[in-house]
A and B are shown apart, each in its own frame.
Chain A
Amino acid sequence: MSLLQLERVSKRFGALTVADEISFSVGEGEALGIIGPNGAGKSTLFNLITGNVAADSGTIRFGGADVTGAPPMARCLSGMGRTFQIPQPFEKLTVFENLLVAGSFGARRSEADVHERCAEILADTGLLDKANVPAGGLTLLQRKRLELARALATEPRLLLLDEIAGGLTEAECQALVATIRAIHAEGVAVVWIEHVLNALTSVVERLLVLNFGRVIGTGAPADIMDSRAVREIYLGIEI
């Protein structure tokens, strides 16, 4: 049975259709990449999945339960973790406190073991030396790492990554990819929106292409990259 399943999910903002009968599913422990030009509705799709934006029609199932009308908090507790394209840390809290909040409330960890668990995650994501720095003072790479670390602290079964590699140098990107690959290897399902295709295809098993709010293709990365529709959309966009 699939972990996440969308059936004909639609959303309109006024005259603009940002999600047009989107259907796809993600299996337990699977890694799916989502690509598409700017404005294709990729981030909106994440907002629909996490419940920050309500769907106009269609159903979203997570772990077998219908979560279409559930608030973001409930979806987080049932195992969805998410990073934002523009990192949104709690700026006045320290890096460690950012994780503790996620661990105490998102994963319902007791005060006794939340510290230990969050320290492990900080080490895994390379933020241990920044633990006691207010999150507002981090660099872009550190903020992106914190987004990832904080999502992990909620102990997700499904990790939604929104352009986490964007704006990073090649070396930074490779380090981040290694971290994500390790998370995926532990059995966490990943849905990853990314423009940096080589980073994406080194992790995901399947690609989904979105354009004008519609799914125009899914399949193995190699097949997708060869397909005509994708080449047309991406013509002029770096591959």
Chain B
Amino acid sequence: MSFIDTLVQGVLLGGLYALFAAGLSLVFGIMRLVNLAHGDLIVLAAFLLLVLVTGLGLDPFLAALLAAPLMFGAGWVLQYVLLNRTLGKDVLPPLLVTFGLSIIIQNALLEGFSADSRRISTGALETASVGLGPVTIGFMPLMAFLSAVAVIVCLNLLIYRTAIGRAFRATSDDAVTAGLMGIRPQRIFAMATGLAMVVVTIAALYLGTRANFDPTAGPARLIYAFEAVIIGGLGSLWGTLAGGVILGVAQTLGAAVNPEWQILAGHLAFLAVLLIKPRGLFPRAVD
């Protein structure tokens, strides 16, 4: 495997990590809620896609289209009914509740689907690729990267160009004053989590089609998402993409040296960034 090919695979993998991270970043940015169940929600969405693909015989992309509004609804209700109650001056309640939620999701999936690892099949697309000299670009990894870019472009347009986006930012700035402007903060938060679940569904599509997953796969995805967000710097979605790419490249380079070093290399890159720039590479970048 050539160095350039490794680099390109790493960048494409970074797109997947950015997808993991975008929803986490969105929710944290708007309501300062650290959702420890984020990784498990991605795995939950992957199982939902699996059911739609194997049960109804749907194409995975079509299944994602169907699952997205379902996940939006689930996220909306989850935030409105449960998580809104945990928000306040104390940072501990949301951490405890989402940690509990993480355990509940893992065990419910274990009960429903057993511990077997699964995979969502994309048929011929699974092995489809384009060869460019020494570099081979797989169709699905490329789609994952392009989807990450599309998600970030769409989220930025939504946040900076629409009325609901301005309400997101106003509520994030000062929820009490937002109420005086006719905004219902609880609904804004519910909307944000619903939106994050749509991104989670897209992430789940590429997670489930790329590699095997099982009910306990969530926490590791959460760690990658955290690392991507923090490498990129809080408050910038493009920074999150850059963070995902750095993590992805570090992992594939590590794996090229020794397959056992993949995860370690990613964490080391994360630590290196924290040492050099503790606030991330692009803190509060203008985007």
Contact = CB atoms under 8 A, between A and B. Distances in A.
A binds B: yes
Interface of A: 50, 52, 71-73, 76-77, 82, 84, 88, 90-93, 97-98, 100-102, 104-108, 111, 114, 150, 154
Nearest to A153: B181
A90 B182 contact: no
A98 B181 CA distance: 10
A90 B170 contact: yes
B174 A90 contact: yes
A72 B163 CA distance: 20
Given A90-B174, A111-B163, A73 B169 contact: no
B159 to A, nearest CB: 11
Interface in B18-67: none
B179 A71 contact: yes
B183 interface: yes
| A73, A88, A111 interface centre (most CB from chain B within 10 Å) | A73
B85 interface: no
Given A101-B167, A104-B163, A105-B167, A72 B180 contact: yes
B166 interface: yes
A90 B173 contact: yes
B173 to A, nearest CB: 4
Contact of A52 (B163, B166, B174, B176): B176
A92 B173 contact: yes
B183 A101 contact: yes
B181 to A, nearest CB: 5
A106 B182 contact: yes
B170 A76 contact: no
Given A52-B176, A114-B163, A106 B181 contact: yes
B277 interface: no
Contact of A104 (B166, B174, B184): B166
A150 B174 contact: no
Contacts of A102: 181-182
B86 to A, nearest CB: 20
A111 B161 CA distance: 11
| B170, B173, B174, B181 interface centre (most CB from chain A within 10 Å) | B181
B169 A154 contact: no
Nearest to A109: B163
B178 interface: yes
A107 B182 contact: yes
Contacts of A90: 169-170, 173-174, 177-178
